[in-house]
Amino acid sequence: MINYTPKLFLIVGSPASGKDELIRAVSTLGKLHAAIVPKHTTRRWQAGDGDEMICREIIDKNGEYILNPNYHMENCDIQYCNYGTQYGVRSTEIWDGLRVGIHQVLVVSNVNALNALKRIFGGLAIALYIFSDVSKEQYIQNEIRKLKRKGLSEDTISEEYMRKREENFDMAWNLYVDNFMLFDHVFIFAGRDEDLYDQIFRLFRYYENR
């Protein structure tokens, strides 16, 4: 039986800020501490999407896009638009996870969604900004390298998808600067995944030992 109150950690950061690395660490190393909150999205599945992303269309075994039976945007009470794409989250799923004593982790770089989540979950919602000095150009090159490591071509990620991320690369930073009072913590990602892992698990322990 746990002797602490589990929290909802809201992760905000620019592309290549370390959000994917943090999600991967929580998914693989931190299951006893936390669970990733799934997000529904109107866009198609892209190479690199994790299990937490519930896309409207997924690729079947024949390489064709089909409708995802697990996609239910209509059931999401929190919806927002980023990069021209609609995203949705079910607050009931978050409450279910908190009730069984597991921290919840949600990546959400949208001020309206942040305010809605803070309003619903109150002091249980902990906003965290991840800072990285990776430039827009470095981000694009990093995405291409990640694809090549997986044996995939650049065509696996659509031109429109990358273009919107280029155009809105500073969106999360501007959100932080304009609304810094919303945030409880800041992480610094300097390129070493291990440092980021250490920061998130130290944060979990901090709230578990308070």
List, in order of start, the domains of the chain with CATH numbers: 8-37+101-209 (3.40.50.300)
The amino acid that residue 188 corresponds to is I
* HSE-CB for 130 with a 13 A CA cutoff: 28
Q: How far apart are alpha carbons 154 and 112 in whole angstroms?
A: 33
The amino acid that residue 77 corresponds to is D
Q: How far apart are alpha carbons 83 and 68 in whole angstroms?
A: 21
Q: How far apart are alpha carbons 14 and 130 in whole angstroms?
A: 8
Question: Which positions of the chain have pLDDT values less than 70?
Answer: 1, 30, 136, 140, 142-168
**Which pLDDT belongs to residue 135?**
73
The number of beta carbons lying within 10 Å of the beta carbon of residue 1 is 3
pTM: 0.86
**Which pLDDT belongs to residue 9?**
97
**Which pLDDT belongs to residue 186?**
95
pLDDT in tens, 9-53: 999 998 778 888 888 888 887 677 799 999 999 999 987 788 889
Helix, coil or strand: residue 15 = coil
